[in-house]
């Protein structure tokens, strides 16, 4: 069992708080403001801050040409698909519901690990998959029976979570020798250009100057997410086994659900409460450490 250092534990707590509160903040930011543009501006501000930090730490940014194809694959699955689908889905869903769906990622990752990398799925893992499926079915059923809901948003969030799971598995098995911080910088840089191009192509006609509240959400995303949490997650995902981030992953959607209900006044239905419980059961079943059998003397 990998033992977390104090620094790693502190970082996990911080990204849990930053990401957990970010879901209602994003929901607030894209309500009445173009979502792709919101993401592009956030990343455009966060990227130079990240670059200055790496310069200060003297992190080499050069990626050899032979590693460009792998870097491109990591970018597509960890960043491009996730950020595009996620930010488009958020305006159609409550922030808590979006977080629940997004953090089915560990379950997708467990299934993909078994299918792609030959990691054997235990009976407990299959229980987790079933629990996650039941939770998603509850949310999807509510969206289909609620005219104000959006089953398209549910599908986009699930596709985003699956892509993130693929990217996480790829990152854990990457052969790239470059520092994780350098990889994170280039993933963010390419995604910034991608999001800016999508915003220019699809949202140019509805562009407007953000209000003070939207600017606050943009700055929070720029500094909290892209200059800190995203980079820390990539580093931990590469350096630690999946088990190390269990508590963090479990509590992010819970924090998002209740902070969204408190701050945005989002009404929690019984499906949301049940889905939170089921997804927590799913993640715990997939990632929680099994007790080692006592060794013989």
Tokens of 230: 């995203």
pLDDT for the residue numbered 297? 43
Distances (CA, A) of 141 to 1, 117, 215, 275, 280: 39, 33, 35, 12, 19
* Residue 147 to residue 126: CA distance in whole angstroms: 33
* Residue 261 to residue 242: CA distance in whole angstroms: 29
User: Which of 95-99, 162-166, 282-286 has the least mean pLDDT?
Assistant: 282-286
Question: Which residue ranges make up each domain of the chain?
Answer: 6-287
pLDDT for the residue numbered 142? 64
Q: What is the pLDDT of residues 274-289, one digit of tens each?
A: 877 887 777 677 556 5
Going by pLDDT thresholds of 50, 70 and 90, the confidence category of residue 193 is: very high
User: Cβ(73)–Cβ(170) under 8 Å?
Assistant: yes
Most confident of 109-123, 150-164, 250-264: 150-164
pLDDT for the residue numbered 190? 97
Q: What is the pTM of this model?
A: 0.82
pLDDT of residue 115 exceeding 90, the answer is no
Between 89 and 249, the more confident residue is 89
The pLDDT of 291-296, averaged and rounded, is: 54
């Amino acid at each position: 069992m990998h033992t977390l250092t104090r620094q790693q534990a502190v970082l996990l707590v911080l990204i849990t708080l930053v990401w957990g509160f970010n879901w209602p903040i994003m929901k607030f930011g894209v309500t009445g403001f173009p979502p792709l543009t919101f993401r592009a501006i956030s990343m455009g501000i966060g990227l130079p801050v990240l670059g200055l930090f790496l310069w200060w730490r003297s992190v080499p940014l050069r990626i050899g040409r032979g590693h460009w194809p792998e870097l491109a694959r990591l970018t597509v699955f960890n960043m491009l698909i996730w950020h595009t689908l996620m930010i488009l889905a958020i305006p159609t869903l409550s922030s808590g519901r979006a977080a629940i769906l997004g953090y089915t990622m560990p379950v997708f990752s467990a299934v993909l690990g078994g299918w792609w990398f030959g990691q054997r799925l235990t009976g407990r893992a299959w229980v987790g998959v079933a629990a996650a499926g039941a939770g998603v079915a509850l949310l999807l059923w509510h969206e289909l029976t609620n005219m104000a809901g959006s089953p398209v948003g549910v599908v986009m969030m699930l596709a985003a979570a699956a892509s993130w799971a693929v990217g996480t598995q790829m990152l854990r098995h990457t052969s790239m020798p470059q520092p994780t911080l350098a990889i994170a910088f280039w993933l963010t840089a390419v995604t910034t250009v991608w999001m800016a191009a999508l915003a220019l192509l699809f949202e140019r006609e509805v562009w407007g100057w953000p209000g003070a509240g939207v600017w606050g959400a943009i700055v929070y995303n720029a500094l909290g997410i892209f200059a800190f949490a995203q980079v820390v997650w990539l580093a931990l995902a590469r350096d630690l086994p999946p088990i190390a981030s269990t508590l963090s992953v479990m509590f992010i959607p819970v924090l998002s659900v209740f902070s969204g209900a408190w701050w945005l006044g989002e009404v929690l239905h019984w499906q949301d409460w049940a889905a939170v419980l089921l997804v927590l059961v799913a993640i715990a079943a997939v990632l929680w450490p099994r007790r080692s059998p006592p060794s013989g003397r």
